[in-house]
Amino acid sequence: MNKYWIYMMQSANGRALYTGVTDNLDRRVREHKEGRGSVFTAKYKCHKLVYFEEFGLVDHAIAREKEIKNMTRAAKEKLIDTINLERKDLFFG
């Protein structure tokens, strides 16, 4: 069974927040941490994984990513709070 994730990366100062979708969360977070993930995450140093959700279907993951990207910053912060109130880096790879 395939797995897909939506995830949010945050900068060290907390100002920048990036939302993405992937079929390999470990690899993708490593890319972001190494500055290879995307132009945005490299520029704003979004190296901390603060939120993720897992899906079995890519269409569901993409739909959720779009939903989150359309949320206000306050709504995204509340979503992160549901699993990561202290904003710890959830990446253990």
pTM: 0.94
Question: With left for phi above 0 and alpha for psi between -120 and 50, is residue 88 left, alpha or beta?
Answer: beta
Cα separation of 70 and 76, whole Å? Answer: 9
Cα separation of 73 and 81, whole Å? Answer: 12
The residues, any chain, with a CB within 8 Å of residue 13's CB and separated by 6 or more, are none
Torsion angles phi and psi, residue 26, rounded to 5? -60, -50
Domains of the chain: 4-81 (3.40.1440.10)
First-to-last C-alpha distance (Å) of the chain? 21
- pLDDT per residue, tens digit, the chain (93 aa), is 799 999 999 999 999 999 999 999 999 999 999 998 789 999 999 999 999 999 999 999 999 999 999 999 999 999 999 999 999 999 986
